[in-house]
């Protein structure tokens, strides 16, 4: 198994445990992890090693709140859910089931992006909570099961919100850039004996937050508006490279954790200059636009400093 993203908690346990599945002629397992440290993986597995208990009570009534929230979007009604559930159990063709979802799909496409994101997050939360709790508690209210089946099909048919990366960009991803660090090769991750406590499921209200790409688009739009520039969508990849370099600087992150934004602003210019120079070689036109206008340059620098502190806030 190759791991190229951050894993933590139950996601780490579920993902890495897949290598234990049996298969013909399988005699051993191997995991190559490019991202996670062994201490982080040990911390994820520790609660499940021996005996596990629940630290609190899960309030299943919150499931009804989620159901009500989903219906509040007015994309479909309970009668439509009942009709779909009956057709599903009657074994009608898949094409017929998909036709029953056309109206909510059309309504979904007319929503603003903010509400699309909220709706998708709420139905994923409902599916997750119901899947978990249905294994523990006998539900006598068939409405919960009906909605679960309906959302299971609807979620697969909902259109994506963000445009996927074009094929030529995906082709440019260079797997050779991964660096293999063998310092921990062959070492074992040992787990301590003892009980592990798991927190109960907490159902919280889902708030909309702009995603990474949207934040970068907003920055470019603001710069274009303020300085009459012509930054394009293609420049967003260069901006992302610049932002990733700043946010990936460990020394800068340490200073951001220990200092207020206004205090760090005095030394941030040096880090910004270093990253700007790093993108200069392959993106001279982008570099020229930034470096030839001191006001634009300072505005971009402030936006990136804000992004750095937003990341720090999310880690807390």
- pTM over cut 0.75: no
Residue in this structure with the two tokens 């750095």, named with its chain if needed: 308
Residues 116-151: pLDDT tens digits? 989 999 998 888 888 877 766 666 788 989 999 999
Higher local confidence (pLDDT), 176 or 50 = 50
* Cβ(6)–Cβ(43) below 8 Å: no
**Do the Cβ atoms of 145 and 217 come closer than 8 Å?**
no
pLDDT at 208 (0 to 100)? 45
For the segment 179-193, the average pLDDT, to the nearest whole number, is 61
Identify the weakest region by mean pLDDT among 96-110, 162-176, 204-218, 288-302.
162-176
Encode the chain in three state secondary structure.
Answer: CEECCCCCHHHHHHHHHHHHCCCCCCCCCCCEECCCCHHHHHHHHHHHCCEEEECCCCCCCHHHHHHHHHHCCCCCCHHHHHHHHHHHHHCCCHHHHHHCCHHHHHHHHCCCHHHHHHHHHHHHHHHHHHHHHCCCCCCCCHHHHHHHHHHHHHHHHCCCCCCCCCHHHHHCCCHHHCCCCCCCCCCCCCCCCCEEEECCCCCCCCCCCCCHHHHHHHHHHHHHHHHCCCCCCCHHHHHHHHHHHHHCCHHHHHHHHHCCHHHHHHHHHHHHHHHHHHCCCCCHHHHHHHHCCHHHHHHHHHHHHHHHHHHHHHHC
| pLDDT tens digits for range 160-174 | 876 554 544 444 554
pLDDT in tens, 31-73: 888 888 888 888 888 776 665 544 455 566 788 889 999 999 9
């Amino acid at each position: 198994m190759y791991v190229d993203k951050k894993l933590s908690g139950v996601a780490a346990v579920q993902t890495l445990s897949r290598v234990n599945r049996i298969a013909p002629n399988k005699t051993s397992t191997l995991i190559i992890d490019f991202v996670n440290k062994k201490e982080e993986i040990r911390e994820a597995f520790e609660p499940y090693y021996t005996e596990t208990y629940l630290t609190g009570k899960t309030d299943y009534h919150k499931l009804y709140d989620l159901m009500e929230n989903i219906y509040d979007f007015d994309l479909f009604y309970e009668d439509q859910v009942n009709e779909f559930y009956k057709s599903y159990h009657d074994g009608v063709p898949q094409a017929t089931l998909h036709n029953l979802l056309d109206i909510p799909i059309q309504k979904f496409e007319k929503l603003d992006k903010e509400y699309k994101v909220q709706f998708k997050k709420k139905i994923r939360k409902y599916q997750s909570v119901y899947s978990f709790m249905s294994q523990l508690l006998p539900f006598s209210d068939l409405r919960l099961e009906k909605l679960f089946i309906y959302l299971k099909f609807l979620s697969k048919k909902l259109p994506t919100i963000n445009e996927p990366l074009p094929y030529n960009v995906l082709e440019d991803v260079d797997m050779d850039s991964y660096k293999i660090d063998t310092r921990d090769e062959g070492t074992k991750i040992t787990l301590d004996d003892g009980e592990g406590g798991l927190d109960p499921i907490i159902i919280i209200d889902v708030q909309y937050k702009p995603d990474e790409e949207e934040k970068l688009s907003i920055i470019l739009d603001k710069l274009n508006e303020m300085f009459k520039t012509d930054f394009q969508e293609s420049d967003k990849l260069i901006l992302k490279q610049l932002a990733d370099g700043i946010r990936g600087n460990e020394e800068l992150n340490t200073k951001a954790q220990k200092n207020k934004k206004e205090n760090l602003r005095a030394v941030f210019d040096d880090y910004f200059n270093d990253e700007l120079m790093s993108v200069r070689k392959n993106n001279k036109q982008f570099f020229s636009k930034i470096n030839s206008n001191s006001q634009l340059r300072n505005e971009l620098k402030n936006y990136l400093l804000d992004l750095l502190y937003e990341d720090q806030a999310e880690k807390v």
